[in-house]
A and B are shown apart, each in its own frame.
Chain A
Amino acid sequence: MLAEAYQKGVNNLSATLKHMATGAAAVPVQHSEAALNKPVEEQSMNELGPKVPLKEPVKERTKDEPGLFWHAQLIPADCSDPKFVMADGTLKKRRPKPIIRTNEFFDNLTRVGNKWILRTLRGLNDWPGLDGLVVQSITGLVKNKLGRFKIKRFWDASMIGHKPCNPGDHGSVRVTLQAAPHSVSGWTADSPGYFWWLEHTRIDEAPMLFHGQKATDHFMQCGGRATRVHHFGHRYAKPRESTKDKVVYHCCVLVEWDHGEYTTMFELAWVNGVTGNAGKSNWQEVSPFFTPRSSFFAPRSSFLRSRPPLLTPRPAAGQRPASEQAADGAAAAP
């Protein structure tokens, strides 16, 4: 009974997130002026490459501008190493250190002012949050004449006027990318703060996801007062615990409310720990709560994208989200 109710809640969540994703897609795409004014052949290194519209306005950045740095590994186009490549020849998705085919990387570079931006259809290595990144450098591990390995810098963002170059056949090539300036403080520019709250007050209602400072605007309108607080700690269940595992405890705080309809769990952990771990959360009966197939992981999912899931109307009881109804309509059409 409880499992069924939970499954219903999860289904509702998927529908809500799908709705939010659709809502985000409806937002007019904003292109940078500089990019629009450039001839097409200057915008992309490969005329035949995909012309993916920018999802966020990309501004020129100076070297000292903030923004989280990400590293990605370039995989040769003909690589079939099972460490990186699936049986069907496609790259493994959502690796902790993102990977991308060399040809795909250079085909998807777009010039905006003096910067080279990586634009991909589904985000770098299928990570939707990694898109519109500025290429900062391309380095590789090469052997010198003495047979020792050293790091060689093939291209650098300071080489203004030079296109990022393909270093050719090298064992390990790494690109350094920089995210938008707001990434130092939060997932979106208009709602800073690496903080999210999954509001799920009833099992049979769709959960809502809020993040950042703006989430407080919503919760200020909510009722309920905290009455009891509990400090809880545990180790993680592992079939074989290392010495370190035996001293690592995760602690969190459980709060009870005066209405007694639900409790709320508060915890601090690594950023992107849930989405980066296939949507697993220990506090949800159904785990992973956010499955990789749900719209939570869709490229235009609004969770970590430009549009925060704020102000998304919760479907009224008995009413399905508009996106779900639209999907039904599309399916019924010939």
Chain B
Amino acid sequence: MAPWDSSIAELRVQDLPAIKSMDDFKGFVRKYTGTTKDKRFLDPHYISSSDVRLTQCGKGDLARYLANYILHNKSYSEEARNCQTFAADFYRLLSGSQREFPFHPICQILYASQTHNFFYDSPGA
């Protein structure tokens, strides 16, 4: 436990036992959307949904992909490597779609898919 560092990225994964489906998730987001103090979200967007087409998609497989991804590059930048670029990369990996891009146009400018980083051990590993 240490102070946050805005130049380094971490991958967070959380199981949500109270949310079993997309309908549950939409209900959760609706509950916490607003501008009052107890709210968390604003302007939610359900950008894309797809079946998972990746063959190796068990929990352990996904954990391995994530470890590879973060070990390849741990940097964080608002322009080129952030939550949006990861979400686009990870969605592309699972869905097989090559038409998924970071949500905001600003992040799309410098975006180059890093999906290959999910598959390979980092050079130092």
Contacts and interface: CB of A to CB of B under 8 A. Distances in A.
Contacts of A149: none
A277 B44 CA distance: 22
Given A194-B8, A195-B66, A234-B45, A275 B1 contact: yes
Contacts, number: 306
Given A96-B3, A198-B13, A265-B13, A203 B44 contact: no
Given A220-B60, A232-B46, A232-B47, A185 B124 contact: yes
B4 A215 contact: no
A6 B35 CA distance: 24
Nearest to A210: B63
Contact of A198 (B8, B14, B28, B48): B14
Interface residues of A, number: 97
B60 A266 contact: no
A130 B2 contact: yes
A162 B58 CA distance: 56
B43 A235 contact: yes
A230 B52 CA distance: 10
Contacts of A303: 1
Given A96-B4, A261-B20, A247 B104 contact: yes
Contacts of A235: 41-43
Interface stretch (A43-51, A84-92, A140-148, A252-260): A252-260
Contacts of A70: 2-3
Contacts of B33: 234, 237
Interface string A240-284: 010000010111111110001111111111111111110001111
Given A68-B8, A233-B44, A262-B18, 8 more contacts: A185-B71, A203-B17, A225-B52, A237-B32, A261-B17, A265-B16, A267-B86, A272-B3
30 contacts: A68-B8, A195-B70, A200-B14, A215-B63, A225-B58, A226-B58, A230-B46, A230-B48, A231-B103, A232-B45, A233-B44, A234-B33, A234-B42, A234-B44, A237-B41, A237-B42, A251-B47, A251-B87, A256-B21, A261-B20, A263-B20, A267-B12, A268-B12, A268-B83, A273-B10, A282-B32, A283-B16, A287-B40, A296-B1, A303-B1
